Structure 1
């Protein structure tokens, strides 16, 4: 087994002699490297299979999509010559026919050219019901896809679906010549071959992955020779290694809130608040009788000391929100009503609605008591502190919230997906890729507990929202979609199927002199542009 990486050296590939490698080149001939620290270990190296966020960071550097999405939300051509739309003729006027032309200078890491056959194979793999795909979202609308030239393909959609641009921005293309007809992909995933800016070099399980720069990348060579992704499961240890210089970038899940102020004072380190698309909220199961009355949901929300939670527990790192969309989205509605902590007003509204305090001080009406369970992942100390604050807030107005947390496998299994919870403290990315389409969470036909296919665990049923999602997703015009989505956000805010607490931010850090890092809320990993990171002479 390769020994662990030291602060100043890395070990060469298996069978090779170890070579010195400063973070930045000491001379024109010396290789440069970046050491990335992550608290979760990337383990899935086939990008079409089910995977988590940290795997995305590896995928985006080994593989290539047709186009990517930058930090400003703009689509940028990658394997494709341009991003097809209705203005350039790549998408037909009715939104049903798509045509893509590939660039001619893209190659797989084994030297074979990337062709339209690879894209068709990737699409067909995702369309194959026997393939255990990470996601088929959008692909189910494809009627047929065909290669119309060595570097050109077309497909036809059953209906116009504007979010497909965003879906394809995160759909990595895989090599047909290595995977077609192969049922056992073990050999491929042990040494994946992509067309991205870095090539697979080695992996030491439970320790690190090393990638080396692809000298023939079609978008220009990466800024460093090697990228080493280290697995550091203890966030305190990871912070210490960032402080001492053993890692150059501290990534997911970021610097803990209780270390944020200290991190700002570290010499030779730059610290960033990296906004995430995840919204932390109290999800409500609207099928429970105590939540049928909107007055109850409004009163619970009004009784929560959101600002106190954000200031005291989160050091004001997290951003207050009222929407299911991140504030960085061009579709975000900034005009939603702001929550105001007012327990007296909450109590009075419940009194007026007939929810009166009974024996023991618990409110009830028509035999239904205002008491319920709140659950989240067990072992998360910070979340439990949030629960305890909310529990006391609600007790003050005669509502009983019991805390019954569960192991992750139990919490996010059928208990969550089949709406067996009363309420849940949960973090959700409601978008479809970078697109505002959240229909899977809020439309009436998307509730698994009612036999639907989707993630509407809230069991929200609002025909107005259903209609607006259909219209928004059928239009490719930004202003039209913006109008629909602002209205959708207003309706969801009024219905309160979840009580938004904050939009998450990771506090991430880089060593001074490492340039190119840019937080991107449109993707799940800030390693999205690792190929553009490079060292300057001011590196410390």
Structure 2
């Protein structure tokens, strides 16, 4: 399901399917492959959030997954239509080709022969097995370890065959080694940097992709050159790639639509009144690409005590937030968020639409129940009443005090003009409740980094805001981000995807059922129940169902395929001019 901005509305993704009985057909190419390796000069890619990590298993954001994808690859990509496309695999496993066992407990991957790493050494099943060991070692603190939930073992049955065995029947045979989470790293390069030593591992990975890294300046630029050992002798077309980071989304839009300085500008989260005229200008040098996706812009609500006074226990799940731990307080905050002006910033469908769901972009799994939930209705009067019932009385300065704690909320997000307007809208509503809102804007490289207390992964503020979404129509890994097993702690180097540190036994049980359920309709019912728990308990406050990608490309650039389920760089080997 892909579309260009000028086309009609894209078709919706299919419901999470049962294991395929035949190999999926890859998406149609938008341009014929160019049999001229390196004839295209330099490709200029502009990301206003700069790459900080090239080993994607330690990624802190989309920009890291995308930056790494030019060099390292998964066994299969998740294609634009929500079906896997073989990359390092010779074929996508199905029941028909005996790649998926009849009882759904094993998935066997056949690897392409004669694939080499960029250092010239052979790529084998041992590298795949090693990647599993690396990611699942808790001390490695990989950010995508959840992709191996319920995986019992990964074994190399021969140099070109890998067998993945699950603890029981799996409803998602493409959970492991697929899309950006499934990138394979070289055993030879990382074998001495597994576990606690991972933090000292190589910063530039050897890869199998069309390019290899020539120079890497974290939070600035990555320069790539052709991987002379790439398996297709006719690709890639471009001799070098400059993957530049920094600036802002508006500047990135201007670089592709107005000045032509960039061939590809990513994530144009720009106010529609500014973006649309650039796109539609008669002399525009670029094309806007987008697709309906599962991406969600949302507010994450803190559950733990992140005050400095908590000392060594700051942000640990053993603590409780002084007032956000109260459901009535969270409900009041949700009811004081006006989504209408926030959605308008995204252009009334140009780049996203308002929503009160966590699961979006997949109609069969999207809840209709939230339409009648009080927390999804903008109602300042009702919100104030809830705070009164919670015992949060207003002081002389008009700011409420909850059980002796003044209701000050630090609300952080990345530096971005559109997001700062979102913050102001949210602040306006919460201020009407007697809540003191302190807005914080953090450079994207720091926010999606790992080294400071301003990092989103540490989540040391009361509320933070960013976008996230699933990597396929199957929601196994996306919804795993709210399971208790994914709670971030200092001991785990703040890895994991449960940023809010929310623990709910009912949710954990529903997710465990989801992983085993093979009936698509029943899986969707389970997804809806999990969605409704997240919304009703105000774990997050959904804001906008965002399209993805929402990027700009030069009118001379060919071969790109907008893909809402995988990296925007997923088929960069096919790009040309």
Report the equivalent of 1:151.
160
Name which of structure 1's ranges 407-416 and 271-280 shifts more when overlaid on structure 2.
407-416
Secondary structure of 2:174 counterpart: helix
Report the equivalent of 1:108.
117
How much does 1:424 deviate?
A: 0.6
Report the equivalent of 1:173.
184
How much does 1:42 deviate?
A: 3.6
Query: Which structure exhibits the higher relative contact order, with contacts defined as CA atoms closer than 8 Å and separated by 6 or more residues?
Result: 2
Question: What is the CA deviation profile of residues 10-42 of structure 1, one whole-angstrom value per residue up to 9, with x for unaligned ones?
Answer: xxxxxxxxxxxxxx9999899224322223444
Report the equivalent of 2:127.
118
Report the equivalent of 1:247.
262
Report the equivalent of 1:209.
223
Report the equivalent of 1:519.
562
Let me know the Cα RMSD of the aligned residues: 4.4
How much does 1:330 deviate?
A: 6.5
Report the equivalent of 1:284.
301
Which runs of no fewer than 5 residues in structure 1 stay unpaired? 1-23, 536-540
- 2:247 is aligned, of 234, 253, 256, to 234
Secondary structure of 1:464 counterpart: helix
How much does 1:320 deviate?
A: 1.2
TM-score normalised per structure 2: 0.72
Contact 2:76 2:86 in 1 (8 A): yes
- 2:288 is aligned, of 267, 271, 289, to 271
Contact 1:31 1:225 in 2 (8 A): yes
Contact 2:44 2:244 in 1 (8 A): no
- 2:45 is aligned, of 25, 33, 36, to 36
Please tell me whether residue 493 in structure 1 is matched to residue 532 in structure 2. no
1:132–1:240 Cα change, 3 Å: same
How many residue pairs are counted as aligned between the two chains? 505
1:302–1:234 Cα change, 3 Å: same
Question: What is the CA deviation profile of residues 486-525 of structure 1, one whole-angstrom value per residue up to 9, with x for unaligned ones?
Answer: 22112322222221111344641112242332322222x3
Report the equivalent of 1:374.
410
For residues 112 and 33 of structure 2, the distance between their equivalents in structure 1, rounded to whole angstroms, comes to 32
Please tell me whether residue 508 in structure 1 is matched to residue 508 in structure 2. no
Report the equivalent of 2:434.
399
Contact 1:274 1:508 in 2 (8 A): no
For residues 365 and 203 of structure 1, the distance between their equivalents in structure 2, rounded to whole angstroms, comes to 53
For residues 443 and 25 of structure 1, the distance between their equivalents in structure 2, rounded to whole angstroms, comes to 43
Contact 2:38 2:239 in 1 (8 A): no
For residues 118 and 349 of structure 1, the distance between their equivalents in structure 2, rounded to whole angstroms, comes to 55
For residues 108 and 515 of structure 2, the distance between their equivalents in structure 1, rounded to whole angstroms, comes to 19
* Structure 2 counterparts to residues 26-105 of structure 1, below 5 A: 31-33=39-41, 34-42=43-51, 44-50=53-59, 52-85=61-94, 88-105=97-114
Report the equivalent of 1:426.
465
Report the equivalent of 1:200.
212
Contact 1:419 1:449 in 2 (8 A): no
For residues 188 and 349 of structure 1, the distance between their equivalents in structure 2, rounded to whole angstroms, comes to 50
1:214–1:57 Cα change, 3 Å: farther
Secondary structure of 2:510 counterpart: helix
For residues 106 and 542 of structure 2, the distance between their equivalents in structure 1, rounded to whole angstroms, comes to 38
Report the equivalent of 1:17.
none
